[in-house]
Structure 1
Amino acid sequence: MRIILLVLLALAPFAALAAEPAQRFDGWTSTCVETKVGPDCRIVTEAAAQDGARAVRLAAQRSPQKDAPPHLVLTLLGLRAPLTRPRLALAVDGGPPLRFGVGADMTVAAGAEPDTLDLRLSDGASRRLLPFLRRGKALQTTIMAEGADPAGVAPVGAEIPLPGFGAAAAAVDGRQKRTDRPDALSELIGGANAAARAGLIRDVTRGAIPETLRKLMVARDCPVWDEAEANPSFLAEQSFAADLGSGRTLWAIVCSSGATNVGFALFVEDPSKVAGRFELQLFAAFTESLGWSGVETLSNVSYEPEKRRLTAIEKGRAAGDCGVYGAWEWVGEAFRMIEYRVKEECDGVGEPSKFPIMFRGDR
C-alpha cells in the first residue's frame, strides 16, 4: 500500500485538473487540459482515408514541462487489417515524399481506441516536418506494411488539409506562455515569430524567388531545383529572406535535403549594384581530415535579425550527437565567424551548441 501511495504522489503534479473549451482554426482543433504543472495541449485534425482505414488523424502534442519538445502523431482510425512494421510517406502539395520507417524516426503502438494504430514521430522528425504544416495546403500521407504484398494488405492513404495550423500553434504558445520564446511552436514553424511580425524575416516560396536568383540556383546543380523533375520538391519552400539593414537582403535558398540535413546556398542582395546584385556567400568549414576550407552551402540554417546572427548545424546523424555547429554575425559588409564547433565521434553524448570548440572570435 505504501508503494502505491508513493507512486500516486509522484504522479500527482501531472494529474489533470480541468479540460478547457476547444478552439477551432479552419480544420484544426486546439485543446488544452490544465494540470498542476501547466496546460497540456494538442492540435488535432482528421481526414477520411482513401483505403485501408476509416480516417487518419494528425496531432501535434506538447506537454507543459519547460523543456518538453513537440511531437507529431499520426493515428489510423478504423484500421481494416494489421500493418506489420508500417512505413510512412509524407508529401506536401504533391511534392516528392519524405519517407520514415520504424526505428530512429518513428515508433508504432496500438492506439487508445479499438482498431487504431499510433505512428509517433521522433523529436527530430517532428521538428523537421513542423514548418511544412504551416507552409503547405495539404499533406498527403501513405502508410503501408513493410514488405507486404500490395494485393494482400491495402495501404492507408489520406490528404490532410493544413490551413489553420499556424494559428492553432500560436494559440497553444499563448496558453503555455511560450510566446516569443525560442522553443515556441510559432518559432519552430516560422512565420509567426517576433521577427516575422516585424517584417525582418519572411518565407520565400519557389515562385517568389527573384528570377535572377532562380537561374543561379538552377545553374548550381541543386537537387531541389532540378528542371528535369516533373514535380519540384516542396523542400524548396523552406527558403527564406531576411533584412540585413542598409537596403541589403539575405536570401537563404534550399539547395538539397537529406535525411537529417537541409543544405542552403546563401546570397546577399545589394540593390545598389547593377551587376552581381546577388553575391554568393562563402563560409569557412573544418574537418579533421582536411582542416579548414571554404564551402558554398550551410546546413539547417537559421537567422536571428535582432542579433544579426546566422547559425548552421550539420548533423552527423539524426540524433544530433555529432557534426558541426557554426555561428556568424553580420557586420555590415559580410558575415564574420564568431563560433565554430566540431564533434566527429557519434557516441550518443552532447548537443551541437556544446560540441568541442574549434574557433571563437572576439565579440
Structure 2
Amino acid sequence: MRRRFVSSLVLLAAFVAGGSAPLRTGAWFVDCDADLYCAAATIAAENDAKIGIRIGRQATGSWQVSFVPGSFDLDPAQTLALSIDGGPKVSFHPGEDFLAYGTDRPEFHLTDVTLAERILRGMEKGQRMDLMLAASDGSSHVFSASLKGFASALSHIEEAQKRPAGERQVAAPQGLPVHPSMAGATPLADGGKGPRGIPARVYEQHVRQSACEALDSAGLKDAAIVAGRLDARSRLFGIPCTNSGGRVTYRLYRIETGEIGGVETLYFALFLPDFGWAGTDLLENVSFDETTGTLTMRAGRDSGGGCASKAVHRWQGWRFALQDYRIDTACKGGPAESWRQVYREETK
C-alpha cells in the first residue's frame, strides 16, 4: 500500500490513494490506485495547524481510520478523543485503542474496532468532526473537520471496488511496523478522566453498550453521578442513562483501581409482579452509602401501571447482595416499610 502524508490542502491529493487526480466531494477527496486501494481524505484544522484524516481500505479488506499530525507536535502517550456534531466524546487510549504505524512519519490508526466503527457510522450522518489531542507540552487542542461529502465519498469507494453498500467493518493495519514513538505503549489503568470526572474507561464502556441519553443533554446535565469506594481495590460509578419526569435510571459499573483497571457492568435483580424475577442493568434513583457499602434503589410508578418499589443491596467482597426488596402493590405511597416485602435476606 502506498503511504503519503499531508501538511496542507495543496498536498491533500497525495494523501488519498496515490492514483490519478482525486475526485472532490464536499470537503473530501477520494481516489483509488491501480490495486483498488481506495481512500477518502480531508483536513482537520486548528488555526494554522492542520491534520490529515484518511478513511481507506483495500479491495477486499476492512476500513482503516487514521490521521497524520503533520507539523503538530502530538503527545502519543496521551488519550485522544473524537466527537461528531458536538456529541459525546469517544476516547481512545494509547497502546490499546490507537497506535502509530510507519518508520518515518507516524500515521495514527484507531485500533479499537467497536469504537472506530461507531465513529465511522457517525461520520456518515454528521456535519462536523472534532479531534481532541494533547501536545507534547501538555496543552490541549481541538481540530475540526467538515463531514460534508463524506457519505458520498464512501459511496464512490463502494462503487469503485464493486462491494456492497453499508459495510463498515474496521480493522487495524496488517503488515505495518509500529512506529518507534509508540513501541511498548501502555494505557493508564483507568484511562484518565472522562466527562464530569468519570474515569474514561468507565465512560467508554457506558457509551459502547448503551443507548443512553448524552450526559450533557437537557434531561441529564443536572443528574448526579453516583460514585464511591467499594473496597481497597475497586470503586463504584453510577452514570445516568435516562430521565423521565424526574425518574432517573442509572447504569452502574465497578472499576478496579490497580494496574489492570478493568471495568465491569453490574447487574441486579428486578421483581415484576406479573412475571416474577428478572435481571436488569438499570436501576432507578439510586444512592450509595460508602460507609456501609449500601446501594439503594427507589423506583416510582411506571406508565405500565407498576407501582413504586425499593431495593437495598450491600457490597459483599465481589458483588452486591440483595438485602431487601419491597413493592407498593396498592400504589398508595407512604413509607416503604409498609409496602409488600417480596425479598428479605436470610440472616445466619
Q: TM-score range by the shorter chain?
A: 0.3 to 0.5
Larger fraction in helix: 1
TM-score by structure 1 length?
Answer: 0.42
Name which one, 1 or 2, has greater alpha-carbon Rg. 2
TM-score by length of 2: 0.43
